[in-house]
Structure 1
Amino acid sequence: MELAASAPALAKARTAKSPRPRSGKRTVPMVVKLAYRNLFHDRLSFFVTVVGIMFSVVLVAVQSGIYLGSANKIAAIIDAAPADLWVVPLGTKSYDDPSFLSGRERYMALSAPGVADSEDMLVSFARWRKPLGGETTVLLIGTAGESPKALPLNITDGSRAALEAPNTVAIDRSYFNDLGVNELNDVAELNGTTVKLVAITKRVRSFTTLPFVFTSLEESRRLAGANQDQASYQRVTLLPGANIETVRKEIEARLPDTEVLTQAQFRTRSQDYWLKQTGAGAALDAGKLLGLIVGIVIVAQTLYSSTKDHINEFATLRALGAGAGYIVKVILIQAILSGLIGYTLGMSLALIAIQAAQDTKLTIIMTTPLAVQLFAITIGMCIFAATSAIIKVVRIDPAVVFSR
């Protein structure tokens, strides 16, 4: 009787589960393990996939970096000599599409309410004759030496003050071969006048093939054949608290044969002209698109082949009760792992290429937002490429396991 009474208690004690000691280690989910092993099972296919993604990332990163670098180079002079308002000749397409103003613009701008100062800047095409023979076209830029926005910037040898002497110029080191000079104090001819190199800049380059040649405002007028009151642009600075749009309209009304643009408007106009109207930007966009297509095709082909080679294993999982969603997760994790590895290697190569191009005429820029965008594009590309493999898996009939 006592045994019968104690039996339920004994049964309850036997069925009670004692808590298992935790090891403290976080176990990797089986779906991740399966994706990892499936990805690395065929190392040749994995290598091909990673190489495809890597070169796709390199191509897109470099093309995007060139686009940003080109946009910055187009607006380099505008950014280096900023102004609240720019008075430009009517119909000016970009900064390096210069012509001369009439000469009265500075005084008319200074007389407008809200204007603190207006500075002349001269930009003109010029002929450069090399010391050993041969000519090339350059873009001559002149600014006043007393201005806090005097150009050029980034002088590594010589000084800006040296440009105030007659017949002196400054050029960027990257244009030495194009202009036939080698060091400070070399001489050449500019529009038939002998000039001396007294200042050398670093990474001050134009978007076009025309080298920048800097000099003083008075010297640039003399070399370009302009009158002593003429300029190509007026850089207008406003008084504190002045309404920029009100002042812009006032100056525009006083100077009907000109356009008055804000800093952002002039910058955007110059960039749009070269990157959109000339087709240069379309060529760079085509390069980025080509890189994406290459990456998608290679990843899609590899994932599809991998899925096809392991179709029986996937069918077995389906027969054991794994849902289509579970197997889809396996394929997506494969794609994401491939994208992570390919992006890391590709971005590393791209950064090496960008660093190597720093002191060349090719300007490539990589920013943190661009790197984040490229990461998202790479992962998205790999997930999109996994679509063909996912379609194959969803259509698996578990019965094929029993027909082998």
Structure 2
Amino acid sequence: MTASKDISETGGGMIAPAGNSKRLRMAPKLAYRNLFHDRLSLFVTLVGIVFSVVLLAFQSGIYLGIERTIAAVIDQTEGELWVVPIGTKSVDDPSLLPGRESYAVLSVPGVASVETLVMGFSRWRKRNGGATTVLLVGSDWTQGGFRPWNVIEGSVEELAAPKAVAVDKTYFKDLDVTGLGDPAEINGQTVTVGAVTKGIRSFTTMPYVFTTLGRAQSMLRANQEQGAYTLVKVEPDADIATVQARIQERLPDVEVLTRGEFRSRSINYWLFHTAAGSGLIAGTALALIVGIVIVAQTLYSSTKDHINEFATLRALGASSRYIIQVILLQALFSAVVGYALGMSLTLAIFAAAKGTTLNVVMTPGLALLLFLVTIGMCTIAAVSAIFKVTRIDPAGVFSR
């Protein structure tokens, strides 16, 4: 039997084309038959890939969700610069500024406007007994500043009514409220739910509660000139770095950060200076290791079971390059099928997580990245099988 023959068939459902052009065309068919010949091995392979895809997607989705959750308040603001107390680790780690920062900032050339944002931990007493800690946020949106977003019941304007606050529907159970008009107490002051938002979560699972600037200052026992942060809008033709340096010179007892700097500091603190980041990194590494090991073991086992057939192909004139192509196509088929199943399961899990305090995010970019990672994972896993096949002695087929 020679390489000049059109097609030669071997055991185990494998087909070996002889000519170079036919050999290339038949490689996908051979890989498909070899892969699906042993359904049990294929099932084990797909389970490993699906597990890895789901775990990687879940970990990545949690990371994106955490990033967006931590920076949610910052992302909703418009100021280019933030004046914050020295040592502030994150936006949800607030403390009050000394006061009168707004006047000093307004006197700096290049500043267009300033906004005072009040944030502080407060005690929320439930109407049926018990209490919990909330993160109270006060701002003056009537002047175009920060305002609650994703309002689904009531309106921001209704928060101007006496004692009105906005809470998120996600935390209804924690706050012991059911909707508009429900009463509660914050730091001993009676409040009522005047607006309801949806999807505004905090990384610490501590509910955000929004109200007017003056009301929040009163509840936090701050004077009318105090805030947790001073947000600065820079004039369009002004250099942000220059304005930042001038403000810092005027206010040496505070920190002046760009919005991007404060956003990065907040995210880095929670992800890389707490156990949260370590858990995410460990989970991602575990997903990759499990996927590579399971796929590598299955492909190696499949290659070993068909070692005589591969030897026959070599004896018929098939090159090492052709054999490697077959094995890589097996890995590619496994990756595509496993990714499709894993992503379908992932999307179902993410859909079930909506409306909970767990914020997981899937974007088209992340989906594409996960697909490429799955392809790479299965390709790496195929290396062990490739090493086995390339060492086959074609003459061994004649000794059987």
Match of 1:199 in 2: 195
List aligned pairs for 1:92-107, cutoff 5 A.
92-107=88-103
TM-score (normalised: structure 1) = 0.91
Question: What is the CA distance between 1:27 and its match in structure 2?
Answer: 11
2:346 partner amino acid: A
Structure 1 equivalent of residue 110 of structure 2: 114
- 1:4 corresponds in structure 2 to none
Counterparts of 2:283 and 2:261 in 1: how far apart (Å)?
Answer: 28
* Alignment partner of 1:181 is 2:177: yes
1:243 matched residue in structure 2 = 239
Cα distance between partner residues in 1 of 2:78 and 2:134: 22
Q: Select the residue among 56, 60, 69 that pairs with 1:60.
A: 56
Matched, 1:146 2:142: yes
Give per-residue Cα distances to partners, 1:81-125, cap 9 Å, x unaligned.
Answer: 231111111111110111111111000001110111101100000
The equivalent of 2:157 in structure 1 is: 161
User: In structure 2, how many angstroms separate the alpha carbons of the residues matched to 1:372 and 1:212?
Assistant: 33
Say whether 1:171 aligns with 2:158.
no
Alpha-carbon displacement from aligned partner over 1:246-297 (angstroms, at most 9, x marks no partner):
1111111111111111110010010011111113122112111111111111
Alignment pair present for 1:353 and 2:349 = yes
> CA 1:152–1:87 in 2, change beyond 3 Å: closer, same or farther?
same
| Deviation for aligned residue 1:188 | 0.8
Cα deviation 1:203-241 (Å, max 9, x = unaligned): 011111211011100000000111111111001111120
**Distance in 2 separating the partners of 1:36 and 1:171:** 55
Q: Describe the superposition over 1:324-358 as per-residue Cα deviations: whole angstroms up to 9, x where unpaired.
A: 22111111110011001111111122122222222
Letter of the aligned partner of 2:279 in structure 1? A
Q: TM-score, normalised by structure 2?
A: 0.92
Distance 1:150 1:290 in 2: 41
**Match in the other structure for 2:392:** 396
Give the number of equivalent residue pairs. Answer: 379
**Residue 278 of structure 1, aligned match among 242, 252, 274:** 274
Tell me the SS of whatever aligns to 1:102: coil
Give structure 2 stretches of 5+ with no counterpart.
1-21
Q: 2:215 aligns with which of 216, 219, 227?
A: 219
Is 1:291 aligned to residue 302 of structure 2? no
Counterpart of 1:144, as a letter, is D
Deviation beyond 6 Å, 4+ runs, structure 1:
none
Q: CA RMSD in A?
A: 1.4
Q: 1:145·1:164 contact (CA, 8 Å) conserved in 2?
A: no
**Runs (5+) with no aligned partner, structure 1:** 1-25
2:380 corresponding residue in structure 1:
384
**Do structure 1's residue 316 and structure 2's residue 312 form an aligned pair?**
yes
Amino acid across the alignment from 2:100: R
User: In the alignment, what sits opposite 1:9?
Assistant: none
Aligned to 2:296: 300
Compute the displacement of 1:323 (Å). 1.9
CA distances 1:120-179 after superposition (whole Å, capped 9, x unpaired): 100000001111111111100000131323321111001111211222211100000111
Larger CA Rg, structure 1 vs 2: 1
Q: For residues 305-344 of structure 1, what are the structure 2 equivalents within 5 Å?
A: 305-344=301-340
Equivalent position of 1:8 in the other structure: none
Query: What is the CA–CA distance in structure 2 between the aligned matches of 1:81 and 1:329, rounded to whole Å?
Result: 53
Name the amino acid aligned to 2:189: T
